[in-house]
């Protein structure tokens, strides 16, 4: 097992706590009297302070301590949460993040933030600076017995444990051992207090101990032996050569420390995420997924053997295996799936800051937070989404005066939503801003030489220009050029995830960007089909239905490349042609109707073999240029089958359809 460095764990944990803090602060911005949120913010701060101090982030601990102290009046409810307070608290959160990321560089900035905070929380009162937080070494001296030498002295130590001491975990043997470590001991025990057998409570220690110890250590060392159990015990310590006055034990002495903070917080789980969780390195999840994949393949082979066999027992075992393997697969896959809400939460701060910086009022609405996607996909989506949201607010939404002039509400809206559609997840960023300016995009594209000046382009095609790398080189920073900055990077990232990006816009009606991403599960349910001698797997989630290819379409090249599916024309692709299959055309061909997004296409195959679990393996670099396939899988008999890339085939089919239509229109004209 690989063990992470606790400091790395601290970094990760601090990030999560800071996220939690930020979330609570942003929520406080809208519901300022929610005590649970205040408590949640405080607990996050407090944990950062504690672990920060443990791992040597003294600046962090010191700053958080000051911050907590100043913020204390908010927690006690004597100061109300206000927007400026949230603002400065957010600044403090950022400061903490910087202190952690780059220790020693930012210490000075903290005072400015604290000053602001103090000004807000104590307008009428002295800001009441606390004693400073010193990550002192003054740890309980018990923990690190001081090595101060004194002249050798002999002590008589008499003690009797409190009645409940044994129950509470005290152990006289350990105490005696500790005394022995101080120097040579003579131990005697008095049993006078032991009651008659019948009234003995086995959990009470009735013994009186007397230890004579000679040591060169100071008396404090002996006191420290009893540091934790002094309450309620009888203890006397005296020197044999002249007695030292016995002083009442005071456990303060043992734990004195420069920390003097607020009252204890008996905070319960308010605002905290429920459920126990375990941190696992992503690679180990991948490894697990690989093993499960192999298991599923082996199980498929077993099932095949069982089907061919007459052995009833074998059949039973195979069925049992199939059930187990499939549930193991689901569980494993589930582990990798994370609700996208974890990502959405991060953008609230972005929107808050942009709204503040740009002086635009923005309602940020999210929906579909529960939609689950593979963890890796979610991580890689973060940057593109930041980019798109920034664009929407910066360049999409108009300033309030222009919005009012256009008859809109002064507050703009940016809506981020996620929804499952078939085998995909669609993530939309919708703003109600000015929309894309087709004329200006055209002008820009012409200027950049991306289109000919007289080219006729539908708006949809024109909008695609913003994804062109050349488009973003525009020097002029305008509302329009901003749309182009880095959009090519966004597109590349999405395509790298085997996804697509759609852009829609209406003048003055706002812009909609939709990202369509495959679930990219490592294992899918597949429909196995045959084309010529090759077998191919189609992700079952993309399959809508299977129909017979009408007799008159069988011959091919009949000019009829559409099927009428309940009144809708669906284009179809002959996979034999696409794959250049050399075998003779077979009768009774089938059409598998698949969909991606709102579009459908039919795939003509020679035979539908059946459904099977499909473990997706990606193709090597050597096949990076091969279209139509998203990966490959190993079938029950050990052979390899390619997995069809439905999204690619559908868009290919749609192009094919529109080309055909254009030709027809051309012929008709």
Partner 1 sequence: MSKSVLVVDDSASIRQMVSLTLSGAGYATLEAIDGEDGYAKATANPIRAVVTDLNMPRMNGIEFIRKFRAHPSSTGVPIIFLTTESDEDMKRQAKEAGATAWMVKPFKQDQLLAVIKKVAGP
Partner 2 sequence: MRTGIHPGHAGRAMTALTLRLQDEVFAIDAESVREILDVVPITEVPNANAFVGGLINVRGRIVPLADLRLLFGMDRPPPDVNTRIVVIEIDLDGEPTIVAVLADRVHDVSEIEAATIEQAPKIGMRWRPKYVHGIGKRGDEFIIIPEMGRIFATGDAGPSVSQKRG
Q: Decide: is 401 part of the binding site for partner 2 (CB under 8 A).
A: no
Residue in 199, 277, 557, 639 binding partner 1, rule: CB under 8 A: 277
- Of partner 2, partner 1, none, which one sits near residue 46, judging by CB under 5 to 8 A according to partner kind? partner 1
Give every CB contact of residue 98 below 8 A, 6+ residues apart in sequence: 105, 106, 109
Binding mask 606-645 for partner 2 (x = CB under 8 A): -----------x-xxxxxxxxxxx--xxx---xxxxx---
Give least dist CB 176 to partner 1, A. Answer: 12
Listed in sequence order, the DSSP H helices in 503-590 are: 551-554, 575-578
Give least dist CB 556 to partner 2, A. Answer: 17
Residue 365 and residue 414 in contact, taking contact as beta carbons nearer than 8 Å = yes
Q: Decide: is 585 part of the binding site for partner 2 (CB under 8 A).
A: no
Q: Decide: is 217 part of the binding site for partner 1 (CB under 8 A).
A: no
Q: Decide: is 378 part of the binding site for partner 2 (CB under 8 A).
A: no
Nearer of residues 12 and 331 to partner 1, judged by Cβ: 12
Rounded CA separation 514/500 (Å): 8
- Of partner 1, partner 2, none, which one sits near residue 276, judging by CB under 5 to 8 A according to partner kind? partner 1
Give every CB contact of residue 454 below 8 A, 6+ residues apart in sequence: none
Look at residues 99, 34, 29, 19 and name the one whose alpha carbon lies nearest to residue 64.
Answer: 99
Q: Decide: is 205 part of the binding site for partner 1 (CB under 8 A).
A: no
- Of partner 2, partner 1, none, which one sits near residue 4, judging by CB under 5 to 8 A according to partner kind? partner 1
Q: Decide: is 9 part of the binding site for partner 1 (CB under 8 A).
A: yes
Listed in sequence order, the DSSP H helices in 417-529 are: 438-447, 459-463, 479-484, 487-496
Burial per residue of 132-164, b for 16 or more beta-carbon CB atoms within 10 angstroms, e otherwise: ebebeeeeebbeebeeeeeeebebebbbbbbee
Rounded CA separation 231/250 (Å): 9
Lateral strand order in the sheet of 424-431: 362-367, 412-421, 424-431, 510-518, 500-506
**Number of residues binding to partner 2, judged by CB under 8 A:** 29
- Of partner 1, partner 2, none, which one sits near residue 143, judging by CB under 5 to 8 A according to partner kind? partner 1
Q: Decide: is 263 part of the binding site for partner 1 (CB under 8 A).
A: yes
- Of partner 2, partner 1, none, which one sits near residue 167, judging by CB under 5 to 8 A according to partner kind? partner 1
Q: Decide: is 566 part of the binding site for partner 2 (CB under 8 A).
A: no
Q: Decide: is 578 part of the binding site for partner 2 (CB under 8 A).
A: yes
Q: Decide: is 506 part of the binding site for partner 2 (CB under 8 A).
A: no
The catalytic residues are 46, 68, 391
- Of partner 2, partner 1, none, which one sits near residue 617, judging by CB under 5 to 8 A according to partner kind? partner 2
Residue 219 and residue 203 in contact, taking contact as beta carbons nearer than 8 Å = no
Q: How far is CA 448 from CA 439, 443, 476, in A?
A: 14, 9, 12
Q: Decide: is 54 part of the binding site for partner 1 (CB under 8 A).
A: yes
Which residues in the 385-404 window bind partner 1 by CB under 8 A?
none
Rounded CA separation 402/400 (Å): 5
Q: Decide: is 456 part of the binding site for partner 2 (CB under 8 A).
A: no
Look at residues 655, 647, 654 and name the one whose alpha carbon lies nearest to residue 499.
Answer: 647
- Of partner 1, partner 2, none, which one sits near residue 327, judging by CB under 5 to 8 A according to partner kind? none
Element (H, E) at 26: helix 6-30
Binding piece for partner 1, criterion CB under 8 A, among 103-111, 207-215, 249-257, 418-426: 249-257
Q: Which residues pair with 536 in a beta bridge?
A: 529, 642
Rounded to an integer, what is the distance from CA 318 to the centroid of its chain?
Answer: 38
Give least dist CB 280 to partner 2, A. Answer: 23
Nearer of residues 257 and 551 to partner 1, judged by Cβ: 257
Give the position of tokens 């996050």.
44
Rounded CA separation 452/445 (Å): 9
Residue 25 and residue 89 in contact, taking contact as beta carbons nearer than 8 Å = yes
Q: Exposed, middle or buried, 337 (CB in 10 Å: 0-12/13-18/19+)?
A: middle
Q: Decide: is 279 part of the binding site for partner 1 (CB under 8 A).
A: yes
Nearer of residues 104 and 275 to partner 1, judged by Cβ: 275
Give least dist CB 49 to partner 1, A. Answer: 6
Helices 6-30 + 341-358 axis angle, to 10: 60
Residue in 32, 154, 255, 651 binding partner 1, rule: CB under 8 A: 255
Q: Decide: is 198 part of the binding site for partner 1 (CB under 8 A).
A: no
In the complex, the residues that contact partner 1 under the rule CB under 8 A are 3-4, 6-7, 9-10, 12-13, 43, 46-47, 49-51, 53-55, 61, 135, 137, 139-140, 142-145, 166-171, 173-174, 178, 203, 227-229, 231, 251-252, 255-257, 259-272, 274, 276-277, 279
In the complex, the residues that contact partner 2 under the rule CB under 8 A are 293-294, 297, 533-534, 578-581, 617, 619-629, 632-634, 638-642
């Amino acid at each position: 097992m690989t063990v992470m460095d606790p400091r790395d764990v601290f970094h990760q944990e601090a990030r999560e706590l800071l996220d939690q803090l930020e979330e609570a602060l942003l929520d406080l911005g809208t519901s300022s009297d929610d005590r649970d949120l205040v408590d949640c913010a405080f607990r996050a701060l407090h944990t950062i302070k504690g672990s920060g101090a443990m791992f040597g982030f003294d600046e962090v601990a010191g700053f958080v301590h000051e911050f907590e102290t100043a913020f204390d009046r908010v927690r006690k409810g004597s100061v109300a949460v206000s927007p400026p307070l949230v603002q400065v608290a957010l600044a403090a959160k950022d400061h903490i993040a910087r202190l952690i990321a780059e220790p020693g560089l930012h210490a000075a900035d903290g005072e400015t933030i604290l000053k602001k905070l103090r000004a807000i929380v104590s307008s009428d009162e002295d800001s009441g600076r606390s004693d400073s937080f010193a990550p002192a070494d003054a740890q309980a001296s018990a923990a690190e017995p001081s090595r101060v030498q004194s002249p050798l002295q002999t002590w008589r130590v008499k003690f009797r444990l409190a009645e409940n001491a044994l129950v509470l975990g005290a152990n006289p043997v350990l105490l005696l051992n500790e005394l022995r470590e101080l120097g040579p001991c003579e131990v005697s025990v008095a049993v006078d207090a032991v009651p008659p057998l019948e009234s003995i409570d086995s959990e009470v220690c009735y013994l009186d101990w007397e230890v004579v110890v000679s040591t060169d250590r100071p008396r404090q060392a002996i006191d420290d032996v009893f540091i934790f159990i002094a309450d309620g015990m009888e203890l006397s310590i005296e020197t044999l050569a002249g007695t030292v006055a016995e002083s009442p034990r005071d456990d303060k002495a043992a734990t004195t420390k420069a920390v003097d903070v607020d009252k204890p917080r008996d905070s319960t789980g308010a605002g905290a995420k429920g459920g126990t969780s375990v941190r696992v390195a992503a690679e180990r999840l991948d490894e697990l997924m690989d093993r499960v994949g192999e298991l599923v393949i082996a199980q498929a082979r077993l099932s095949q053997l069982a089907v061919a066999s007459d052995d009833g027992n074998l059949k039973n075992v195979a069925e049992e295996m199939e059930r187990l393997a499939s549930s193991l697969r689901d569980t494993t896959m589930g582990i990798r799936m994370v609700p996208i809400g974890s990502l959405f939460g991060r953008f609230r701060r972005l929107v808050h800051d942009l709204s503040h910086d740009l002086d635009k009022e923005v309602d940020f609405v999210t929906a579909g937070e529960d939609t689950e996607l593979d963890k890796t996909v979610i991580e890689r989506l973060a940057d593109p989404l930041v980019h798109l949201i920034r664009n929407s607010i910066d360049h999409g939404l108009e300033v309030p005066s222009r919005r009012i002039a256009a008859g809109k509400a002064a507050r703009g809206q940016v809506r981020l939503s996620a929804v499952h559609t078939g085998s995909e997840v669609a993530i939309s960023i919708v703003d109600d801003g000015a929309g894309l300016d087709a004329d200006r995009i055209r002008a820009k594209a012409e200027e950049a030489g991306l289109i000919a000046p007289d080219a006729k382009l539908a708006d949809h095609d024109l909008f695609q220009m913003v994804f062109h790398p050349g488009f973003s080189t525009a020097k002029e920073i305008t509302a329009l050029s901003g749309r182009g900055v880095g959009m090519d990077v966004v597109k590349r990232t999405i395509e790298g995830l085997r996804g697509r990006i759609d852009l829609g816009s209406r003048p003055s009606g706002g812009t909609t960007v939709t990202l369509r991403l495959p679930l990219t599960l490592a294992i899918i349910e597949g429909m196995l089909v045959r084309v010529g001698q090759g077998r191919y797997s189609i992700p079952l989630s993309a399959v809508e239905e299977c129909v017979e290819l009408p007799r008159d379409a069988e011959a091919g090249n009949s000019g009829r490349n559409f099927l009428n599916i309940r009144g809708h024309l669906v284009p179809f692709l002959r996979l034999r042609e696409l794959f250049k299959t050399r075998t003779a055309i077979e009768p009774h061909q089938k059409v598998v109707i698949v969909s991606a997004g709102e579009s459908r296409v039919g795939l003509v195959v020679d035979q539908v073999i059946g459904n099977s679990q499909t473990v997706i393996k990606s193709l090597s670099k050597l096949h990076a240029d091969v279209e139509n396939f998203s990966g490959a899988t190993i079938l029950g008999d050990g052979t390899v089958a390619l997995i069809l890339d439905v999204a690619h085939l559908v868009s290919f089919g749609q192009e094919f359809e529109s080309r055909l239509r254009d030709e027809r229109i051309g012929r008709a004209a």
